[in-house]
Amino acid sequence: MPQTQDQKLIEYFQKFVTFNRLEKMELVLSHRTRYLTVVLENIFQPHNASAVLRSCDGFGIQDVHIIENSNSYRVNPGVSLGTSQWLTLHKYSTQENNTLSAIRILQEKGYRIIATTPHRNDTDLEEFDLEKGKTALFFGTEMHGLSEDVLKNADEFMKIPMHGFVESFNISVSCAVSLHNLSCRLRESEIPWELTLNEREQVMLEWLRNSVKNAQSLEKEYYRRLQ
């Protein structure tokens, strides 16, 4: 079977990466998933925003969806430690209602909309059913939580059980706790959570572009030689 253009580019860029680096990238890629994804609505504190990215990378979540309505999403490099280059970030900032736009796009991709907030019909994290389908976890602002648009369109509600005086954790802790539980259970299940071959190739190519110095110039040279 002939190589695709992406496969040829991957092979080309691999020449500029050390064997150890490439081995690490392939190992991490084998643990990546899109069965779970994280959606951040209007997060504005750079420390929390960056900590969420580290958690997503650490637990193997490839996609993070960022909704910017009234707040711009800013990352603190000292906290994220470069993890954003390994994640696929989807930003929603150009529509009149970016929340509804994000929800529509995720639903079209087959995701359940899960509001991570206490609700009269909520489910505890440990009891959340992963087998019902792909899951988009929505996290809201530190001050106001999720918007009414998310609450009205949510398929389900999920909460972390609390046993102290505090009513909730901040967003970065809530995200980390949720992803630890769900990602561990997902990998122990028989759910097909891994990336498809085509997805793996697309992600690997993006990682190589982000890892290789002067990647854009090298890619232009690659296509010039093809001509």
Task: Measure Cα distances from 197 to 25, 71, 98, 213 in Å.
Answer: 15, 36, 31, 26
Domain ranges for the chain, please list them.
Answer: 1-32+197-227, 33-193
pLDDT at 3 (0 to 100): 83
Q: Read off the pLDDT of each residue in 152-161 and give the average, rounded to a whole number.
A: 94
In the chain, pLDDT over 70 holds for what percent of residues? 93
* CATH class of domain segment(s) 33-193: alpha beta
131-155 confidence digits (pLDDT tens): 999 999 999 877 778 999 999 999 9
Q: CA 2, CA 24: separation in Å to the nearest integer?
A: 26
The secondary structure of residue 157, as a DSSP letter, is: E
3-state secondary structure of 128: coil
Q: Greater confidence, 193 or 84? A: 193
33 touches 136 (CB < 8 A): no
Nearest Cα to Cα of residue 118 among 147, 159, 78, 74: 159
69-125 confidence digits (pLDDT tens): 765 555 555 544 467 889 999 999 888 899 999 999 999 999 999 999 877 778 999
Q: How are the residues of the chain apportioned to helix, strand and coil, as percentages rounded to the nearest 5?
A: 50, 15, 35
pLDDT at 24 (0 to 100): 96
Look up the pTM and report it. Answer: 0.90
Average pLDDT, the chain: 90
